[in-house]
Amino acid sequence: MKIQRIRVSKVQNTLKVYRTKFVWSFIHFLVGSLFLFIVATWLFFSWFNHGRYLLTDLVGITVIILSIDLVLGPIFNFWLLSPLKSKRENSINFGCILMLQIVSLAYGITQIDGQRLAYIVKWQNSYFTVLKSEDRRVNHEEALYHFNEPTVQSNERAFYEMMIKHAVPPIEMYEYFVEVPLSSECNESPCEVISKSGLVKLKSTKEGMVFF
């Protein structure tokens, strides 16, 4: 009887430990979900407003990146934290988990930032969007450009052809861009813009570029 009671007591203690670990992980998951929701909402309305989310597969990328960060914390929480460990050991482990999540979130935000619109360029009577991750410029300023292809046998033609040989597309050759006022185009009727996700309409308004 004593042996059976000891076994029952051990099982109950084990279940209690795992129940506590599960509660801690679940709380971590809820807090993480709320925090990531706030971050995602801020990123969306700050970086991808006025239909800019239509220019790339933003939803899929964001879900993958934020889901990894969301699941990572609770899993490590359940694995490393325990009521059987000292408060100091749990605090150190929890601090490491938070640091790992912060690094993961920072990397994710960097990847999302690369999906932001850098500029729109008109080349061969078509409008193309270029994202920050594709922009060859150091400073990324959202603007509208026309591509001014250098004439044959001009001094700039050799450099242009060299970049073509190095697989640099004309829509990324900022050296030959001429900036034009946004109000001069796409204001009376929408323009069709070629983006990573397909054709998107662009309308020039008082608020700037609006995509739909």
Domain segments of the chain as ranges? 2-113, 117-211
On the question of pLDDT at 141 being above 60, the answer is yes
Q: Between 87 and 207, whose confidence is greater?
A: 87
Q: What is the average per-residue pLDDT within 138-166?
A: 90
5-52 pLDDT, tens digit per residue, is: 666 566 667 788 889 999 999 999 999 999 999 998 999 999 999 999
The alpha-carbon radius of gyration of the chain (Å, integer) is: 27
β-sheet bridge partners, residue 203: 210
- Residue 70: pLDDT band (50, 70, 90) is confident
On the question of pLDDT at 4 being above 70, the answer is no
What is the pLDDT, as a whole number, of residue 64? Answer: 79
- In the numeric block, which tokens belong to residue 53? 């989310």
What is the pLDDT, as a whole number, of residue 11? Answer: 62
Rounded CA-CA distance 161/72 in Å is: 48
- Residue 173: pLDDT band (50, 70, 90) is very high
Beta strand ranges found along the chain (DSSP E)? 117-123, 126-131, 144-147, 177-179, 191-195, 198-205, 208-211
What is the pLDDT, as a whole number, of residue 61? Answer: 77
Summary mean pLDDT of the chain: 89
First-to-last alpha carbon distance for the chain, in angstroms, is 74
Rounded CA-CA distance 49/119 in Å is: 15
Q: Which residue has the tokens 């920050």?
A: 132
What is the pLDDT, as a whole number, of residue 68? Answer: 80
Q: 141, 152, 71: which is closest to 104 by C-alpha?
A: 71
Rounded CA-CA distance 205/212 in Å is: 13
